[in-house]
Amino acid sequence: MKNCGFEEIGTWWEDENIKLIKISDKVFALNGWDGDSYTDSWKCIGELHKDASKERFDIIPRYFHVSSDIVLLSYQVEKIN
């Protein structure tokens, strides 16, 4: 099953443990995993998406059950500040 609504596009240039995802035309860095969501994420801006926005986001993965498998379907993005 294909991911709906997002694309994994790499990792943050300063930390390879931070994944980058593209939702619509926006790129987000997934940071601060607490077991339920990425609580300290940001929008990647500037040339080659190497700058972090001042705004912070809580990004929540949404899953879909297929038989006995759980598949990542999309992300819900909520602005924190």
pLDDT tens-place values along the chain, 81 residues long: 445 689 999 999 999 999 999 999 999 999 999 999 999 999 999 989 999 999 999 999 999 888 888 888 899 999 997
54 within a domain of the structure (yes/no): yes
Look at residue 1 and tell me if it is in a domain.
no
Residue 32 domain-assigned? Answer: yes
Q: What pTM does this model have?
A: 0.88
Classify the phi-psi angles of 32: left when phi > 0, otherwise alpha if psi is within -120 to 50, otherwise beta.
left
Residue-number span of the structural domain to which 55 is assigned: 7-79
> Which residue's entry shows tokens 């035309």?
25
Domains of the chain: total: 1
Token representation of residue 10: 């790499």
Residue 75 lies in a domain: yes
Residues whose CB falls within 8 Å of the CB of residue 39, separated by 6 or more in sequence, listed in order: 32, 33, 58, 80
